[in-house]
Amino acid sequence: MRTIVSVVVCMLMLTTPTWAQNVDRCVPGDGLFFDVLPITRDGYVLVPARQLVEWLGGTMQFDGNQMVAWQYRLQPNRIDLRVGSRNAKWNGTDYTLDTAPVMSEGRLMVPLRFVGEAFGCRVDTWDHMVRLRFIEYWQKAVMVIPPPEGSANRAVWKAINGWYRNSANKIGRQNRGIRIEATTVSGNSARATVYAQWEDLNQEYLDHAATKDEWTLARRGGSWRIVNRTSSPVTTIDEFPY
């Protein structure tokens, strides 16, 4: 019996790709947060690659031009992407992307729908919103479709993002990432709903340290200014309601 088991184990090791043997399995976290704002390119949403891949239970390597991402479900799942190229591979099969991955603020931005669906996530869009539903791990996320550059909505996003980037000096915590769930602009006023994740200043991670922040902004002198922020703690992010 021991001999048979040993043979089976050896066969599995021989048939498992080298890249799969060296990658740890990841379990998705509770919340999807981005340290760089998503963008819209050619009408398609691109988001920071690492946060999306890890939220979907995967891991990735990026050498400055080529990205390889892995995910383990019933079997190894692999995506190959290249910056500036619409050519992609999913488990060895060639695909043409709607828009190419790009670099933004030092982060690799990848097409949300392609990566999400390749890793088993349902991506729905409606009324300027995106809903991600990852049924296998019982989690979801909702976010606004990124406004185009130069629009009033995008200017609101940048004002809010600037506050979070400088949050350590304001509230004694360092922001780890945000996801904008709603935003409306009416004339010279704006409102937004943002989920944020935090860590304390000595870099010790605060478990489930997340907040739901409601923002009010006003446009003054050609730029958006923060008028008010109300914040409430959130203990569970992205509960699956279906």
CA distances from 124 to 60, 92, 135, 166, 232 (A): 24, 26, 13, 33, 27
3-state secondary structure 113-165: HHHHHHCCCEEEEECCEEEEEEHHHCEEEEEECCCCCCCHHHHHHHHHHHHHH
- Mean pLDDT calculated for residue range 190-198: 91
pTM: 0.79
Q: What is the pLDDT of residue 161?
A: 92
CATH number, domain of 78, equals: 3.30.457.10
Domain that holds residue 178: 152-234
Inside any domain, residue 239: no
Picking from 15-29, 61-75, 154-168, which range would have the lowest pLDDT averaged per residue? 15-29
Mean pLDDT across the chain = 80
- Same domain for 161 and 208, yes or no, is yes
Q: Which amino acid is at 57?
A: G
Q: What is the pLDDT of residue 215?
A: 96
Inside any domain, residue 17: no
- Same domain for 132 and 160, yes or no, is no
81 touches 88 (CB < 8 A): yes
- Same domain for 159 and 116, yes or no, is no
Angle ∠(21,25,29) on CA atoms, nearest 5: 160
- Same domain for 138 and 162, yes or no, is no
- Same domain for 137 and 157, yes or no, is no
Beta bridge mates, 237: none
Sheet with 122-126: list strands edge to edge: 122-126, 129-134, 139-144
- Same domain for 159 and 136, yes or no, is no
User: How much is the CA Rg of the chain, to the nearest whole Å?
Assistant: 20
CATH number, domain of 220, equals: 3.10.450.630
- Same domain for 98 and 199, yes or no, is no
Number of domains in the chain: 2
Alpha helices in 23-151 (DSSP H): 49-55, 112-118
153 pLDDT higher than 70: yes
Please say which residue of 113, 144, 175 terminates a domain: 144
Please say which residue of 120, 144, 168 terminates a domain: 144
- Same domain for 96 and 169, yes or no, is no
Task: Write the pLDDT tens digit of every residue in 12-31.
Answer: 223 333 333 333 333 334 57
- Same domain for 33 and 139, yes or no, is yes
Look up tokens 């799942």; give the residue.
77
Alpha carbons within 13 angstroms on the beta-carbon side of residue 141 total: 27
- Same domain for 29 and 135, yes or no, is yes
